[in-house]
Homo-oligomer: A and B are copies of this chain.
Amino acid sequence: MAIESKPEAVILTEIMLTVFRVNGRLLEKGDELVEPLNLTSARWQVLGAVALAGNPLSAPQIAEAMGITRQGAQKQINKLKEDGFFEQSPNTRHQRSPLYALTELGNRTFAKVMYLEAAWANGLVASLPLQDLKKTLKTLNAVYERLDSPVPKKGARS
């Protein structure tokens, strides 16, 4: 027996499918964008987490900032260190858990990435009204918040 679907739910389902498609495309294009800099979307994100923090971070802190697991972050960190984007310094607070900071190369590269990203985004928004973009961001964030909590009961306030 089919359930009674609200028209809102139908649109939301379409939004979900579009989010999947956009997500895939963004990773693809992001990889292309930073490929000349010897980066990938994943490593760009890790680089950004440390760059935006402004101070050296440990692996668990980077994972926390990115919303991924400690081990997942560690994999990218190790590669970034290997390729000279990160340098390691001792952590006075935890002997086994070093801190990571951007090297000169890391900083130079991240600056280039920011430049490329800005140029890309500027080209992408051509003829998209600012109001539409703002409303979209607001709605997506609302959906995201609802995805946090379990199925809300009918009539539950807030």
Contact = CB atoms under 8 A, between A and B. Distances in A.
Interface stretch (A82-90, A97-105, A127-135): A127-135
Contacts of A12: 121, 124-125, 128, 133
Interface in A114-158: 114-115, 117-126, 128, 130, 132-144, 146-148, 151-152, 154
Interface residues of A, number: 60
Chain multiplicity (copies): 2
Nearest to A114: B2
Interface string A1-22: 1111111111111111011111
For the complex of A and B, 10 pairs with smallest distance between CB atoms = A9-B121, A23-B23, A8-B125, A25-B147, A11-B133, A3-B118, A136-B139, A123-B151, A9-B122, A18-B140
